[in-house]
Chain A
Amino acid sequence: EVQLVESGGGLVQPGGSLRLSCAASGLTLSSYWMHWVRQAPGKGLMWVSRISLDGYKTNYADSVKGRFTVSKDNAKNTMYLQMDSLRAEDTAVYYCTGESPGDRVDFGYWGQGTLVTVSS
């Protein structure tokens, strides 16, 4: 059974930093493009970032570019999201998700999410 477990969320002041982790079991991160998706309170989902199978290619939404950094440690089967210069509008539940294999663009694997609250 595939499990993605996010951790690292919490309350942080504006301008602060937080690092989220996504630990995978039953799924080898080195075989999947992995993404972070977030959902602000009362809002829809928003794609945040992705990282390639080998971890060398990354992409970001414009709203987080230059502030967030995605990485993965394939040996630990864990993905990370380093979030710096946090803003109130970054408050959201952050989901770790794995892209389905093959010539598809959908997300077959999801974690339960971790809540990040940016507030003074």
Chain B
Amino acid sequence: QSALTQPRSVSGSPGQSVTISCTGTSSDVGGYNFVSWYQHYPGKAPKLMIYDVNKRPSGVPDRFSASKTGNTASLTISGLQAEDEADYFCCSYAGSYSLVVFGGGTKVTVL
């Protein structure tokens, strides 16, 4: 069982929006503004999509946005495109001992 809880799958039609939740505790997600999100195509290297809760690295489309409320972080993909079909996982700083914890990953399917 992963430290952070994500839905196993979400789906949407092209052009729609989907939101992925990532629920932790006050010791990780709720305690720090160091939540990041990654896009992962099977067999490929994961790609950083969001860092520091809601910041996008250069090159990441602004269709990807994120936020955090309490112990739950969220990633929203707006204007869903076929190329967005991938696994997405969240990550949070969890203190100097545990360092970081990850979510179990969410498969996004474009219908």
Contacts and interface: CB of A to CB of B under 8 A. Distances in A.
Interface of A: 4, 37, 43-47, 50, 59, 95, 97, 100, 104-108, 110-113
Interface in B71-111: 89, 91, 93, 98-105
B102 A44 contact: yes
Contacts, number: 63
A10 B15 CA distance: 42
B98 to A, nearest CB: 8
Q: Which of B46, B101, B102 has the most chain A CB atoms inside 10 A of its CB?
A: B46
Q: Provide the main secondary structure of the chain A interface.
A: strand
Given A45-B2, A46-B102, A97-B46, 14 more contacts: A45-B89, A47-B99, A47-B100, A95-B45, A105-B34, A105-B100, A106-B36, A106-B91, A107-B91, A108-B48, A108-B57, A110-B38, A111-B45, A112-B44
A45 to B, nearest CB: 4
Nearest to A112: B45
B54 to A, nearest CB: 12
B57 A107 contact: no
A106 B55 CA distance: 11
